Each structure stands twice: as C-alpha cells, then as structure tokens.
C-alpha cells in the first residue's frame, strides 16, 4: 500500500488536539487530506491551522468528492454509527472515538458493516495504550497473578461536570459519566480480564447534584438542562464466574477531585493500575510491589500510530469491534437495569 490518505469527521477538541496532530507526526506516509464539520467554519479553521486541502460541511459530501483510505470519527456520540458506517461503506478503515455508539444495536451494525466490507474498525479506548496497562497485561499473560476473578472500576469526580460541550445532553451523548468516561476504565478492566462475556448486569443511576446550581471544578454547567446521570453504580457478573464492581460519577461528595482506577484481583495476585501497584502473597508474607520507574508513553500518540500501522502494514489490532460491542451491551444493560429496577440477564 502507498500513502494513507486520512479524512477527519468533526473538527472539535479531540480532532484538533489529538487526531490531526498525531497523524501529522507519523511522517510522510500519512496525509490528512480532508475534514468535514457540520459547522463549516470549524472545518476551515482546522484546515488552515494544519494545512488540510479539502473542507466539507457534511461527511457524505466528503466521501463523494475525495478518495480516502482511513477516517477518524470525532463527532458527538449520536453521529458515531452513521459516520462510521458511511466511512466503511466508502472503503475506509475507521478509528471512531469512544464510546462506540449510542447503544448496542448501533455498535452491532457498525461491527457487521466492518466485517462485510473487510475494513478495520477501532474505537478510541486510549487508556488501553498506557504502559501501566501493558505491564499488568504482561504479568497476567505470564501467569503471575493467576486467574483474574474480580475487578473494580472507578471513574469518580468530586465536582467535575464539564461546563462546555455536550456532556450533559442525553440526546447527543446517550448518557452521562458512565458512557463518557466510565467506558474507558471498563475497557481497561475487561481487556485485563480477557474480555469475558457478561452474564448479569445490575445498575443504578443517580441525578442528585448535576441538576442543581453549585460549585463546579470544570466551569459552570447548564444545570437547568442537565438530563444525564451524575452517578452510575453497577455490578456485572460474567459467564466465566468473574465479577466487576463499577462506580462512575461526574459529581459526588467524595474526598478526591478525580479518581480513575482499575483494580484487578487474581488468585495469585492483584493490582491497581493508576498508579501501578501489585499485591501478592509470597515467601510467607504479603507483598506490595511498586515499580521504581515506568517509562509512560503518550497514549493518544500510541493509539493513532497503532491505528496507522494497522492500516499501512497490517499490525495486529489491539482492540476489536467485538469488544466495543460488549462494552456497549454492558452500558445499555446498566441504563436499562436502572430504568426498570431489576438486573438484566444476558442470553
């Protein structure tokens, strides 16, 4: 294959801060040739800043006019499925930002389309690219932690409701903290657990702080139109017998401003990932092992480079659309369980 001609859909924060700069850093084999944004001025601004030759106000127009090999989907969640499917059907590999979609039905269709057209589909689960995650994955693969039978996932902020963007708009995001950031930590846990199949999901959501005026550590949010959960709590059991506890919050009355943590427990050892610490029983003692130094890498840079390598040289992908579908099924089940007040059992 020759050079990789890349198109960008959405010219907002993640496109301009992460995707475009990292494609450009890859070197001469990658060219960002087109960008589409519903607000054409935003596409034009980004095009000017990064030297992108073609701008469009709709991605359909972009696919009709420019020949592309790969596309980054950087639009609000509501448009992920439509844009991804259009890109795949135009013959492009796709890196779609997280979460995969608004719901599992959309994620299923995205997966089926990728399989039908034989193109690569990746989701922006960038935490998985952390060196800390890789170190623990190595430890698990070497058998050092034994069988992983339980995990705990936290993505909790004290007062971290974003005062910008569409984070608190259910119609555009599909939900609150769970579907926005909870999915990152959930992906890390599931990846380390070997992506077991879920069996039961019991979820509960709360809206106690976001819908009233108050102190905001990330600016003033629109509390009058806040229509997502500010906290989601859940328990997931898996068909292999493993369990996972999940706590996510945009706002909760807790000590720390922002806790992002994945803890995994195996029968020969456990670990916290952020920061990294391993817990074991060895030599007749209970040991804590902390690395003296981890050479962390820029997870976004690694993610985009990895995606380009998958497209250009057929590197084995780190994540699959099937895994994206599992995450989305769990998120759907969390919200459904919260709505009906019962656990959701998977067939």
Q: Which residues bind ligand NAD (CB under 6 A)?
A: 9-15, 36-39, 42, 59, 74-77, 79, 97-98, 124, 126, 165
Q: How many CA atoms lie less than 13 Å away from 246 in the CB half-sphere?
A: 34
Cβ proximity to ligand NAD: between 9 and 20 the closer is 9
Cβ proximity to ligand NAD: between 69 and 97 the closer is 97
Smallest separation, CB 170 to ligand NAD (Å): 14
Smallest separation, CB 324 to ligand NAD (Å): 13
Smallest separation, CB 210 to ligand NAD (Å): 17
Cβ proximity to ligand NAD: between 73 and 242 the closer is 73
Cβ proximity to ligand NAD: between 37 and 272 the closer is 37
Cα distance between residue 211 and residue 277, in whole Å:
37
Looking only at the bridges linking them, the beta strands covering 231-238 and 198-206 are: antiparallel
Residue closest to ligand NAD, measured at CB:
12
CA–CA distances in Å: residue 312 to residues 26, 57, 95, 208, 267: 12, 28, 14, 48, 40
Whether residue 167 contacts residue 78, with contact meaning beta carbons closer than 8 Å, is answered with: no
Cβ proximity to ligand NAD: between 130 and 280 the closer is 130
Please write down the long-range contacts of 341-344, taking CB distance under 8 Å and 24 or more positions apart: 342/202, 343/200, 343/201, 343/202, 344/200, 344/201, 344/202, 344/203
Smallest separation, CB 173 to ligand NAD (Å): 7
All residues at 6 or more sequence positions from 154 whose CB lies less than 8 Å from its CB, including other chains: 185, 246, 247, 248, 259, 260, 261, 262
Smallest separation, CB 343 to ligand NAD (Å): 27
């Amino acid at each position: 294959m020759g050079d990789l001609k890349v198109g960008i859909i959405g010219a907002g924060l993640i496109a301009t801060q992460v995707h475009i700069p990292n494609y450009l850093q890859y070197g001469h084999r990658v060219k960002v040739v087109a960008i589409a944004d519903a607000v054409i001025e935003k596409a034009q601004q980004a095009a000017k800043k990064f030297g992108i030759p073609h701008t469009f106000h709709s991605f359909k127009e972009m696919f009709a006019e420019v020949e592309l090999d790969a596309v980054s989907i950087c639009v609000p969640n509501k448009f992920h499925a439509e844009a991804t499917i259009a890109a795949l059907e135009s013959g492009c590999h796709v890196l779609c930002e997280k979460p995969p979609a608004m719901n599992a039905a959309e994620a299923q269709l995205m997966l089926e389309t990728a399989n039908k057209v034989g193109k690569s589909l990746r989701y922006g689960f960038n935490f998985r690219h952390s060196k800390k995650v890789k170190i623990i994955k190595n430890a698990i693969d070497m058998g050092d932690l034994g069988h992983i039978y339980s995990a705990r996932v936290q993505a909790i902020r004290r007062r971290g409701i974003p005062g910008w963007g569409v984070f608190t708009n259910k119609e555009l995001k599909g939900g609150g903290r769970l579907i926005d950031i909870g999915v990152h930590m959930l992906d890390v846990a599931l990846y380390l657990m070997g992506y077991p199949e879920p069996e039961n999901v019991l979820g509960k959501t709360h809206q106690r702080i976001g819908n009233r005026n108050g102190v905001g550590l990330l600016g003033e949010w629109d509390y009058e139109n806040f229509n997502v959960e500010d906290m989601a709590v859940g328990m997931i059991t898996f068909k292999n017998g493993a369990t996972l506890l999940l706590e996510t919050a945009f706002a909760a009355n807790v000590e720390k401003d922002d806790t992002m943590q994945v803890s995994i427990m195996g029968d020969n050892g456990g670990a916290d990932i952020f920061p990294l610490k391993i817990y074991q029983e060895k030599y007749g003692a209970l040991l804590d092992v902390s690395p003296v130094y981890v050479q962390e890498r820029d997870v976004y840079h690694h993610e985009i480079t990895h995606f380009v390598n998958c497209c250009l040289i057929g590197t084995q992908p780190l994540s699959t659309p099937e895994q994206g579908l599992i995450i989305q099924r769990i998120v759907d089940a969390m919200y459904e369980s919260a709505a009906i007040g019962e656990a959701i059992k998977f067939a």
